[in-house]
Structure 1
Amino acid sequence: MAGRSNDELKSQGVSLLGNQGTSYVYEYDPGVLEAFDNKHPNRDYWVTFNCPEFTSLCPMTGQPDFATIYISYIPDQRMVESKSLKLYLFSFRNHGDFHEDCVNIIMNDLIALMNPRYIEVWGTFTPRGGISIDPYCNWGRPDTKFVAMAEHRLLNRNLK
């Protein structure tokens, strides 16, 4: 986030970036997410996060599930701060939910935080029992061109 002063970021509610006393939350906590102002709100552009060390727990067996989570969004006025996103994803470590629920929860929490123009979340979970599960969800802001984009991307997700 070059070009932003620490005071500017703190005034926007960003407190984790640069904080050396980071504490990790071991239970699901969307309250750890922080956002900052988008310096380019008049332009549509992608922001993508690849999170290869996501873990959660199977709600039935309590066994760990491992995944790479891909988050892509087109911001509007607010953007998620990456360190807070890392800590938020870490908070799933002891959270018991199915893969499909995890990606939808992540998407819903990011929509609530940022109100992006468009967002998609995709999880590629490590196979367990010989089956991998790769849930995908997306959302386009209602009454905008991004609703059609969300529908198109969902309907054409697995075309090769």
Structure 2
Amino acid sequence: MRNEERLKDDLSLLGNQGVKYPTDYDPNVLEAFDNKHLDNDYFVKFNCPEFTSLCPITGQPDFATIYISYVPNIKMVESKSLKLYLFSFRNHGDFHEDCMNIIMKDLIKLMDPKYIEVWGKFTPRGGISIDPYCNYGMKGTKWEHLAWERLKHHDLYPEKVDNR
């Protein structure tokens, strides 16, 4: 079987015109494929500027740009499945911090990356913006140390916020 055929068998969403968008949080929509470059480490970064979720108390929508960066191990997340997964938060009620940690943990479960970080930059509500950051480095490796260093220094130079 050719690589392209095997890849198509593993990924059901990419190129599928009949995809249904999930109406609530659904980690099962995430799909992965093999990392073809196991011989070197590299970052993959996703910028997701249209993330929405709901406040669990008021039900009001919250809007954010989500940054997901990871160093792949054996598996990588397929981008269309990630888009549908993030869309599944649209009707999901959780605090900002919970959403970011849930996203990170679901991606760890899917890919078992060497390193991953998820940073949500939410638009202000009530005059306050919340920017939760979480990360993970594979235990017992240099990536565990990197996770601690990046957590310690992740926001040393905060950007100028101009009402986003």
Q: TM-score, normalised by structure 2?
A: 0.93
Deviations 1:57-106 (A, max 9, x none): 00000000000000000001000000000000000000000000000000
Using the alignment, how far apart are the partners of 2:109 and 2:154 within structure 1?
A: 24
Residue 9 of structure 1 is aligned with which of 7, 10, 16?
7
Q: CA deviation at 1:10?
A: 2.8
Do residues 149 (structure 1) and 149 (structure 2) align?
A: no
- Counterpart position of 1:44: 41
Q: CA deviation at 1:4?
A: 5.2
Using the alignment, how far apart are the partners of 1:140 and 1:84 within structure 2?
A: 23
- In structure 1, the gaps of 5 or more residues are none
- Counterpart position of 2:116: 119
AA aligned opposite 2:24: E
RMSD after superposition: 1.1
- Counterpart position of 1:91: 88
Q: CA deviation at 1:159?
A: 1.1
Residue 73 of structure 1 is aligned with which of 47, 51, 70?
70
3-state SS, counterpart of residue 47 of structure 2: strand
**Identity within the alignment, %:** 71
- Alignment size in residue pairs: 156
